[in-house]
Structure 1
Amino acid sequence: MAKSSPTFTLDPEYSGKALNLNIFPNKATTHEKKFELLVQLRTELANRIKTNNYPLKKTETEEVHQKPKHTVEQVLRMALDAKLKMKLSNRYKDDLTLVHRQFISFLTEQELNQPFDQIQVIKLEEFLSRYNSSGTYYMKKRSDLSILFSSGGKLTGNRSIARDTHTERAKAKLHTAYDKQKMKKLLAYLKEVSPTLHLCCLFTYGCWLRPHVEVLSLSKKQFKNDNTEIHLSGSENKGGKVRIVYVPDYVRTELETIIERLDDDVNIFSGTVEVLNRFYFTTQWKRLRIEMLEKKLIEDGQTIYSFRHTAAVEVYRRTKDIYLLQKLMGHSSITVTQKYLRSLGVVDIEEMKNFAPTL
Structure 2
Amino acid sequence: MNTINSIPKVYLSEDLQKRCFVYFSYQGKRHRIYNGKELGLSCNPAGETTIEGRQRELNRLLEATRAAMQAGRWQFVDQTSTPVVLSVPVEMMAGSVIKRQQEQFDKQDWSVPYLRDMNRVTNELLAFLATEGLAHSLLEEITKKVLNRFLDNYRSSGRYYMNKRRNLSALFYRLAQDEELTLTGNPVRNTHPMKTKETLNEAYTPEQLTGVLAYLEVNHPNLYLCALMTYGTLLRPHREIRLLRRKDFDAGLNVITLTGSATKSGRIRKVPVPEYIRQVLIRRRVDALEPDAFIFTSIAKPVNADYFTTAWSRQKQTMLKLGLVQPDQTLYSFRHSAAVYCYTDRQNLRLLQQIMGHSTPDVTTKYLRSLGVMEVNPDDMPRLPGS
User: Which one of the candidate residues 141, 145, 151 is aligned to 1:128?
Assistant: 151
Contact preservation (8 Å) 2:234, 2:335: yes
Structure 2, unmatched stretches of 5+, are 1-85, 382-387
Contact preservation (8 Å) 1:220, 1:259: no
Q: Give the C-alpha shift of residue 291 in structure 1.
A: 0.9
User: Which one of the candidate residues 325, 329, 332 is aligned to 1:302?
Assistant: 329
The corresponding residue for 2:216 is 190
- TM-score, normalised to structure 2, is 0.67
The corresponding residue for 2:61 is none
- The structure with the largest helix share of the pair is 1
Query: Deviations along 1:8-59, whole A, 9 cap, x unmatched?
Result: xxxxxxxxxxxxxxxxxxxxxxxxxxxxxxxxxxxxxxxxxxxxxxxxxxxx
Q: Give the C-alpha shift of residue 163 in structure 1.
A: 0.7
One-letter amino acid matched to 1:105: A
Q: Give the C-alpha shift of residue 199 in structure 1.
A: 1.1
In structure 2, how many angstroms separate the alpha carbons of the residues matched to 1:197 and 1:287? Answer: 11
The corresponding residue for 2:168 is 145
The corresponding residue for 1:178 is 204
Contact preservation (8 Å) 2:229, 2:241: yes
1:94/1:301 CA distance change after superposition, 3 Å: farther
The corresponding residue for 1:52 is none
User: Which one of the candidate residues 258, 273, 276 is aligned to 1:247?
Assistant: 273
In structure 1, how many angstroms separate the alpha carbons of the residues matched to 2:133 and 2:249? Answer: 56
The corresponding residue for 1:257 is 283
The corresponding residue for 2:375 is 348
1:197/1:84 CA distance change after superposition, 3 Å: same
1:145/1:239 CA distance change after superposition, 3 Å: closer
1:78 has 2:103 as partner: no
In structure 1, how many angstroms separate the alpha carbons of the residues matched to 2:290 and 2:104? Answer: 34
The corresponding residue for 1:231 is 257
In structure 2, how many angstroms separate the alpha carbons of the residues matched to 1:139 and 1:260? Answer: 39
Contact preservation (8 Å) 1:78, 1:152: no
Contact preservation (8 Å) 2:369, 2:375: no
1:335/1:113 CA distance change after superposition, 3 Å: farther
In structure 2, how many angstroms separate the alpha carbons of the residues matched to 1:327 and 1:170? Answer: 27
In structure 2, how many angstroms separate the alpha carbons of the residues matched to 1:186 and 1:85? Answer: 42
Higher relative contact order (CA 8 A, sep 6+): 1
Structure 1, unmatched stretches of 5+, are 1-63
Query: Runs in 1 of length 4+ with deviation above 4 angstroms?
Result: 64-69, 352-355
The corresponding residue for 1:56 is none
Task: Number of aligned residue pairs: give it.
Answer: 294
1:161 has 2:187 as partner: yes
In structure 2, how many angstroms separate the alpha carbons of the residues matched to 1:72 and 1:181? Answer: 58
Q: Which has the larger radius of gyration?
A: 1
The corresponding residue for 1:334 is 361
Contact preservation (8 Å) 2:90, 2:96: no
Contact preservation (8 Å) 1:80, 1:100: yes
Contact preservation (8 Å) 2:253, 2:273: yes
In structure 2, how many angstroms separate the alpha carbons of the residues matched to 1:339 and 1:89? Answer: 25
Contact preservation (8 Å) 1:69, 1:116: no
In structure 2, how many angstroms separate the alpha carbons of the residues matched to 1:260 and 1:92? Answer: 28
Cα RMSD (Å) of the superposition? Answer: 3.0
- TM-score, normalised to structure 1, is 0.72
- 1:314 is paired with a residue whose SS is helix
Contact preservation (8 Å) 1:186, 1:297: yes
Report sequence identity in percent: 37
One-letter amino acid matched to 2:92: H
User: Which one of the candidate residues 274, 277, 295 is aligned to 2:304?
Assistant: 277
1:215 has 2:238 as partner: no
Q: Give the C-alpha shift of residue 185 in structure 1.
A: 0.1
Query: Deviations along 1:203-258, whole A, 9 cap, x unmatched?
Result: 11011112223222333444337433223333443333332222223222222222
User: Which one of the candidate residues 109, 117, 128 is aligned to 1:106?
Assistant: 128
- 1:111 is paired with a residue whose SS is coil
